[in-house]
Homo-oligomer: A and B are copies of this chain.
Amino acid sequence: MLLVKKFGGTSVGNTDKIKNVAAKIAKEYKAGNDCIVVLSAMDQSTDELLTLAHEINMDPPTREIDALLSTGEQVSVALMCMALDALSVPSVSLNAFQVSMHSTGNHTNARLKKIDTERIRHELDGRRVVVVTGFQGVDSYNDVTTIGRGGSDTTAVALAAALHADACEIYTDVDGVYTADPRIVPNAKKLNEITYDEMLELASIGAQVLHNRSVDLAKKYGVTLVVRDSHKDVEGTFVKEVCKMESMLVSGVAADKNTCCLTLCGVPDMPGYEYRIFDLLSSNSIPVDAILHTAAVNDTIDISICVSRDCAPRAEALLKDNAANLKIKEVSVDNHVAKISIVGAGIQSNPGVATKMFEALFNSNINIKMTYTSEIRITVLIDEIDMEKAVRAIHEKLLGE
């Protein structure tokens, strides 16, 4: 089997942890598997480098930020190969130049375009573990780039796709994807498998196990993802196209407090106003998470949108400053809300699921402020204070047995 294994910054945060990861890899190698290991920079190292940078220049050129930060992963991969050598496992470290890992040129937020596989294949053929720097690429000018948030996960998935690996294992602090946050729902169950689409919905609503970008890429290329615990040797959660879950309508309940609801009242019920409102927000780089508008009453409509809390003050100011121009009568803000979502491939074909969710909330006397759905997700907006109670009630109703 050819396996891609990704370990994040906390998993390689000091030399003892690096030795532990090396032992894990050695075991896999000695079982006869081919391994590509993708590493992040050692925990702290990125922050230390940025501190140096900001002592010199508060707004450094992004090209040089990338040149600076990319050294972090290069340190991790070299040290990992030394640890593997100490365990008599032959290995070779490769950075983005050596692979080569072609990316676009937008520094600090590049996208991977193409991965050359020749060097990696050559090393694998020589029965060496290949240890690759995550998070970085090289653009068409031969300049180092970094690929932004979720970077190393994305590197791992891209490598698995390019080399047709049997699986891409993402090692993290938890041992898999759960039906709910175990800190809120103590009897939450670990899922053995989940579809890409379900994982995407769970990721975007705050499960924070895998970055959406890497799940998206895995879906596109059919890469089997596995979320595994970097400390314990237990089975993780498989993320793949088709799962045997006929019996399971709902795969998880997720909650997210990082949201704020803005309601724009009295917008004219005429073409063009919605376009102008959302153009204003997007041209100011404010991502909008949910959009709802009611049917027209007296030729005006109300539009509710959800944005993340850090963007909310900017969104509010923008909309109020442009209210006259956009013909918005009033902008009201509700900061104390939370999103609760249920996700599951079975939701689409089972209308009873929504009913059960609403019933659970009703039984707990929790008011629903807003509802919106996708084919495999139902999300409600409720008072922030009711968040944990709501998650427990819904989990008990739909996943409790």
Contact with B along A1-22 (1 / 0, CB 8 A): 0000000000000010011000
Which secondary structure dominates chain A's binding surface?
helix
Contact B52 A79 (CB under 8 A): yes
Contact A81 B98 (CB under 8 A): no
Distance (whole angstroms) from the CB of A95 to the closest CB of chain B = 8
Contact with B along A72-88 (1 / 0, CB 8 A): 00110111011101100
Contact B67 A53 (CB under 8 A): no
Any chain B CB within 8 A of the CB of A274?
no
Distance (whole angstroms) from the CB of A130 to the closest CB of chain B = 13
Contact B82 A56 (CB under 8 A): yes
Any chain B CB within 8 A of the CB of A142?
yes
Any chain B CB within 8 A of the CB of A308?
no
Any chain B CB within 8 A of the CB of A68?
yes
Task: Report B-chain residues with C-beta under 8 Å of the C-beta of A15.
Answer: 52, 55-56
Task: Report B-chain residues with C-beta under 8 Å of the C-beta of A83.
Answer: 56-57
Contact B86 A75 (CB under 8 A): no
Task: Report B-chain residues with C-beta under 8 Å of the C-beta of A93.
Answer: 63-64, 67
Contact with B along A27-59 (1 / 0, CB 8 A): 000000000000000000000010011011100
By beta carbon, the residue of chain B nearest A22 is B56
Contact A56 B19 (CB under 8 A): yes
Choose one: B55, B82, B142; the contact of A53 (CB below 8 Å): B82
26 contacts between A and B (CB under 8 A): A15-B52, A15-B55, A18-B56, A19-B56, A49-B75, A52-B75, A53-B79, A57-B82, A57-B85, A60-B85, A61-B82, A61-B85, A63-B81, A63-B92, A63-B93, A64-B81, A64-B82, A64-B93, A67-B74, A67-B77, A67-B78, A67-B95, A68-B82, A74-B74, A98-B142, A119-B142
Instruction: State the interface size on chain A (CB cutoff 8 A).
Output: 36
Any chain B CB within 8 A of the CB of A383?
no
Distance (whole angstroms) from the CB of A9 to the closest CB of chain B = 15
Contact B79 A143 (CB under 8 A): no
Any chain B CB within 8 A of the CB of A273?
no
Task: Report B-chain residues with C-beta under 8 Å of the C-beta of A143.
Answer: 98
> CA separation between A55 and B75, bound complex, in Å?
14
Task: Report B-chain residues with C-beta under 8 Å of the C-beta of A86.
Answer: 56-57
Task: Report B-chain residues with C-beta under 8 Å of the C-beta of A70.
Answer: 74
Choose one: B18, B68, B78, B81; the contact of A78 (CB below 8 Å): B68
Any chain B CB within 8 A of the CB of A97?
yes
Any chain B CB within 8 A of the CB of A71?
yes
In residues 303-322 of chain A, which contact B (Cβ within 8 Å)?
A: none
Contact A56 B79 (CB under 8 A): yes
Task: Report B-chain residues with C-beta under 8 Å of the C-beta of A77.
Answer: 67
> CA separation between A64 and B71, bound complex, in Å?
14
By beta carbon, the residue of chain B nearest A72 is B71
Task: Report B-chain residues with C-beta under 8 Å of the C-beta of A18.
Answer: 56
Distance (whole angstroms) from the CB of A394 to the closest CB of chain B = 47
> CA separation between A67 and B78, bound complex, in Å?
6
Distance (whole angstroms) from the CB of A31 to the closest CB of chain B = 23
By beta carbon, the residue of chain B nearest A138 is B97
Contact with B along A293-310 (1 / 0, CB 8 A): 000000000000000000
Task: Report B-chain residues with C-beta under 8 Å of the C-beta of A60.
Answer: 82, 85
By beta carbon, the residue of chain B nearest A85 is B61
Distance (whole angstroms) from the CB of A26 to the closest CB of chain B = 13
Task: Report B-chain residues with C-beta under 8 Å of the C-beta of A53.
Answer: 78-79, 82
Task: Report B-chain residues with C-beta under 8 Å of the C-beta of A49.
Answer: 75
Choose one: B64, B67, B71; the contact of A85 (CB below 8 Å): B64
Distance (whole angstroms) from the CB of A68 to the closest CB of chain B = 4
| Among A18, A61, A67: residue with most chain B CB under 10 A | A67
